[in-house]
Structure formats: C-alpha cells, structure tokens
Chains A and B, each alone.
Chain A
Amino acid sequence: MLSLHKHSFKAMGSRCEIQFYASEAAASGIIHNAVARLEALEAKYTRYRPKSVTSQINRAAGGGEPVEVDSETAGLLNYAQVLFEQSDGLFDITSGILRRVWNFRSGKLPEAERLQQLLPRIGWQQVRWEAPYFYLPTVGMEIDFGGFVKEYAADQLVALLKAEGVEHGLVNLGGDIAVVGPHPDNAPWQVGIQHPRKQEQAIARIPMSRGAIATSGDYERFMLIDGERYCHLLNPRNGFSIRPQRISVTVIADQCLLAGSFASVAMLKSETDTNWLADSGVHYLQIDQNLSMDGNLVN
C-alpha cells in the first residue's frame, strides 16, 4: 500500500523537502538514502569545508599544480564552461569572490578601490581546464558551484528516488523543484511561485507532473540605498549589481539544472535584453517591475 511520505530537512543552506509515495516499509530507507546523497554532495562541493573539492581547487590557485578531479566534478566544470559561453560571460563561477566586498546586510556599497582589486581575479576565460585537470592561474582566484549545484542535486535526488522504485514524488531544495512523477491518481503537484515582493506568498500556482521548475529573483538578497535597489545578481565584468528589468523569472525544463540556469541567465541578461527567454525552447514566466506577468506559461 503506497502512502505519501514527507520529509523536511536543512541542507545546502536551504530548506529542503522530499515528498513521495512508497510503502511504509520502504519509506525510511529511501529518506535515509536521499538525505545521505544530498549531504555527500554538499560535503563535496561546499566552500565551507577544507576537504571539499571546491576548497582543494581554490587552495591550489596560483600554486602551479593543477588539481585532478573526478568524473562528476569534471561534468560540473564542463557545465560551468558551457554556461559561461552561453551567457556571454554573465554566469561565471569565478565571480563568487565579489561577496567579499558586497555585504547586503551592511546597507553600504562596496568601496570602488577594493572592487577594482578583485576584478583581475575574476573570469572563467583565465582558468585552465583540460579534463581531468583544473587549474586557477592566480592566487586568490576561486570557483564556487553554489550557482547551480543545488539544482544539480535536485536532479540527482529525482534519479535516486526513481532508482529506489518511486514513481510519484517531488524534490524541493529551497524552491528549486524537480518532479519524479504526479500523484498516484495522476493529479499534478501544485507548485507555488514566490511573490517577488510579498514574503511567504505565492504569486502563481503551476501544476507540475514531470520535469523541474526553478525561479530566480531580485528579492533573494538585496539592499535599498537611497531608494535604489541593489540585488545579489552581480556582473562579473565590472563587479557591480545588475539592474534587472525582470524581478523574477521562473523556468520549467526537463532538468532542474537547466531550469535554474535559464532562470539565472535570463535575470542577468534582462538588464539589456528583457526578452532573452523568448524562443529559447523552455517554458517560462517572468515578472517585470510593475508585477505584470508574461511568458509562455501564462495561459
């Protein structure tokens, strides 16, 4: 007899939840395996642990010796490269060091001089990547998989649940959602899209039976200075907060990794190209400054 199991926990700095239908006997083993997989991914890619792959790569920066990575990390680095190319350099996993000067709790803009000092250490075009060897050429350069590892993890958990025989379920890692399959009666899951200006409120509900959905918005981290909104989306070329014309972009794709990447790139691009997602081949919903919605998901 299948029954619905829900398990909430904290991982990757987010509230996570898995929901799935399984027998009572199988459920706890499935939950254990899923949480273990997520914890293993977090331990492997977090920048907060000295033994993580990310820390090893960053420590080796400028030291002359490339780091040999395993196949999964190689896959993530390849993905980062494609993302960098396809976003015309706006999505760059070497841009994370900008957080050293951008403190969104301070209410202060970064000092121009400190920002300028960081810029030479940013830029994927500088890295040396020939699988399985990766090398950051300058001391102080860093990479950070935080821009898409959570979405990747959501896809991995879906694969794990399917491998465990689960057919009906959903994975939610801090709002990045990947679906295993609809409810047993074929009813879709109702996924709420965060209202970009009202906390804990949904601006829309989207039925999901398969695939994945991810949202990027200017509300995740920001500060208001003199009425001006500075959001966490930073331009790797000048180190400055972009002014997105969209305040939230939601994308549906086959994989959460793709949905998340398209949502992020669309936000970054929206400063200059407000309709980057049109004809991109994905389903999307975007919200502009006047809270009006458009996209091929809107009816």
Chain B
Amino acid sequence: MQEKKSTLAALSSAAMMLSGLAQPALANPPDQKTQIAYRFTNYSEGEMDAKDVAEGSLERYQIQVHQLSVKTPVSEDTEISLSVVNETMSGASPWYVVPNAEGEAVQVMSGATIDEARNELGMDFRSYNASSETTLSLSVSAENDYESLAFGYSGQWRTLQQRGTLSWGISGSRDFINATDADIYAGRPVEEIKNRLRGYLGYSIVMTRNRLFGMNIGVTSLDGYLSDAYKLAWVDNEIVRDNRPDVQNQVGGSLMLRQFFPEAQAALHTDIKLYQNDWEVTSESLDLAWYQNLGSKWQLVPSLRYYHQSAATFYEPFYENRRADGFYSSDYRLSEFSAVSARFKVIRQWNTVSVNLQYENYSASGDHPALLSYSAISLGVGTSF
C-alpha cells in the first residue's frame, strides 16, 4: 500500500514539474491587463522624550502619502506603468545636538513647524520575451527646495529552463538642492548638485517546487553635495553646518530564501542584507515574513525586521574639538543604532479587486537623543481588468 501512495507522489511531482515548466509562470509575462492601484499611508513619528530635547518642539513629522499607479499593456509583449506620489509632511525635525550640563547629548529641534510637499511622477516601460525582459524607468520628483531626476534600466534573463533568473540593473539620478531661507541663514546651500550611480546583479533559482533562493550584489557611487542642508553640528561651543565628504561609495549584498509550506498554505520569506560604505557605515539586517493564505481570498502577513548599523567615521553627537578634515555631522542617521520593525498586513482578494491594510511599528535604540520611532498605517486598493 505504501508503494501505491508513492506512485501518486512520484507522478504528481513529475506532473507538477511539467506544468510549471510549460507555462512560463515564473517569468511573470505582461498579463495584458490594466491595473490601477491606490495607496494611502499615514506615518506618525513618535514624540521626543522631553529629557532628550534642549529646545524646540517635541513633536516630529507627520507624513501623509498618496500613491496612484496605472499599468496598461501597449502591445502583446510590452506594458507601460505610470505612477504619481504626493507627500505632505508637517512637524519639527532634529536640528543639532548639544551637550547638557552633565555632558549628555540633547537635541535642539528646528524651531518652526515645517510644512512641505513633494510630488513625484514616474514611468516604467517594460518589454518582454520568453527568456528575458527589460524595463526602462524615468522619474522626476519636486519639492520647494529639492528636485530630482532619475533613470533606470534593468532586466532579467532566465536560464536553466526558466528555473534560474539573472537580474541586472543600472540606475542614476541627479538632485538639485536649493535650501529655503538661504538669505536668512548664512551658508545654507543653494544650487548644489548630488549625483548617484548604481548597478546591481542578482541571481535567483527555483530549487524545488517549494523553495526559491536568491542573492544580489550592488554598488552605488554618490558624489556632490551629500550633507544635510538644514542640519548643524555643535563644535566646541560653536555651531557649524553639517559637512560631509562629497564622495561616497557603497557596496551591499543580500541573500533571500522563500520556502512554501503546502500543508500550511503558507510561505516563509527570509532576507539577510549586508551593507558597507566608505564612510565606514556598515549595516546588517534580517527580515522574516510569514505569508499565510486563508482560503483563496485572504492572506495574513506578519513580519519582523531587525537592523543594526555602525556610525560613520566622522560622526559624533557633538564635537569637543575641531576636526582636521572639517567633516562634521551629528545626524542620527549616521550614528550607531539598532532598530526593530514589526509589521502586520491583511490582504483580501475579490474577483478583480484587492484591498490590503498594513500597520507597522518601528523603533530604534542607540545613543543619539533623536533616534526615530514611528508607526505607519496604510490602506491599499487595487483592481485589474
């Protein structure tokens, strides 16, 4: 009897392999459908602790984001996607750090509440054939003190009878920085430029019906104005502008494993990322997500992410002495810290409509008084026809 059950298993497995191979389902061809998706996200940064703030508001940014995207086929093997993002933010932001009477670092927040808006327009053009695909991306983003133009060219090449996928991409951007109130605050940057060039290479392979493994390596080079236009640093009782090197080279790699558990109708997504730049910031992150299907209509996705980074070589919360190289930054994003982010997502699928709701709670810990915590809730609606 055991033997006969194994006949079903053996034939099922051969048949599954066959249907998987025959349809280029792994290849995700243009589906000849029009898709419209909208997402609203409300970020709410946690209030600062009064003991960490020397001056200014305890409240930080509240950010509302509207994203709308439309994808539609152009021909049988091409599709175009257009996306619009509108972001409005208000609140105070960390300005500089000073030592208090006990010599502990305390934050000075920007005085006035800042109201800002950012709009972004993006376009992707994707072209597909049975064994490869390429995507050309262009985007422009504008806010009152910052404009950015970006391009990308990426592709995938499928090997090993569609089981392996080689991914590659190059992208670049040029940002134009024109700080507001430069006439009031001496030294605020105007007409500065920042360039970014990035390339990556990745490979993923379907190891078994239920297991996918992938790895990715990327390098990025930044040059131009890489400081924060609004941040300052305390140096031996003086306040100076945030001033960072004008070149940064980054290298990052990642490993991913997707394991599907047929009996549980669930999948575990594991991602490990390592990163280093030549300002000596290194970071490691581990991301675990459990995708649980409940019937064909519902999906629940709890996930947890751990992140740690080391500080930039020239970072200090405040400076007792001048530095020979003149680099100063007390930006919390360049300090050493650990962060944990917990997310929970619910997805409900109807015939052509899908709705998802996600909640995220992020909290960082380290020495900097302004390390961030936030909660974000977002609601997405999508339809295809």
Contact = CB atoms under 8 A, between A and B. Distances in A.
A83 B11 CA distance: 7
A62 interface: no
A70 B18 CA distance: 12
A36 B4 CA distance: 37
B4 A75 contact: no
Contacts of B23: 156, 159, 163
A75 B18 contact: yes
A282 B161 CA distance: 30
A258 B10 contact: no
A261 B13 CA distance: 13
**Contact count band on B:** 20 to 34
A255 B14 CA distance: 12
A76 B17 CA distance: 9
A75 B12 contact: no
A75 B11 contact: no
Interface string B243-262: 00000000000000000000
Interface string B289-312: 000000000000000000000000
Contact of B161 (A71, A152, A258, A280): A71
A182 to B, nearest CB: 14
B163 to A, nearest CB: 9
Interface in A58-85: 70-72, 74-76, 78-79, 81-83, 85
A280 B17 contact: no
A163 B22 CA distance: 14
Interface string B1-25: 1001101101111110111011100
B15 A255 contact: yes
Interface residues of A, number: 34
B162 interface: yes
Interface in A127-164: 132, 152, 155-156, 159, 163
B8 A255 contact: no
A86 interface: yes
A82 B16 CA distance: 13
Given A71-B162, A255-B19, A261 B11 contact: yes
A85 B10 contact: yes
A258 B11 contact: yes
A75 B11 CA distance: 12
A257 interface: yes
Contacts of B5: 279-281
A33 B273 CA distance: 43
Interface string A240-282: 0000000000000011011001100100000000001111111
A258 B17 CA distance: 13
A82 B11 contact: yes
Interface string A16-45: 000000000000000000000000000000
Contacts of A71: 21-22, 161-162
Interface in B249-295: none
A72 B22 contact: yes
B8 A258 contact: yes
Nearest to A78: B14
Contacts of B1: 278-279
A81 B13 CA distance: 12
Contacts of A82: 10-11, 13-14
B205 to A, nearest CB: 15
Contacts of B11: 79, 82-83, 86, 257-258, 261-262
Contacts of A83: 11, 14
Nearest to B385: A165
Contacts of A281: 4-5, 8
A74 B11 CA distance: 15
Contacts of B351: 167
A74 B19 contact: no
29 contacts: A70-B161, A72-B22, A75-B21, A75-B22, A76-B18, A79-B11, A79-B18, A81-B14, A82-B13, A82-B14, A86-B7, A86-B10, A155-B19, A156-B19, A156-B22, A156-B23, A159-B19, A163-B31, A167-B351, A254-B12, A255-B12, A255-B15, A257-B15, A258-B11, A258-B12, A262-B8, A276-B4, A280-B5, A281-B4
Closest 8 CB pairs of A and B: A75-B18, A71-B161, A281-B8, A82-B14, A280-B4, A279-B1, A79-B14, A86-B7
Interface of B: 1, 4-5, 7-8, 10-15, 17-19, 21-23, 31, 161-162, 351
Given A75-B14, A155-B15, A279-B5, 10 more contacts: A71-B22, A72-B18, A79-B18, A152-B18, A156-B19, A167-B351, A254-B12, A255-B19, A258-B12, A281-B5
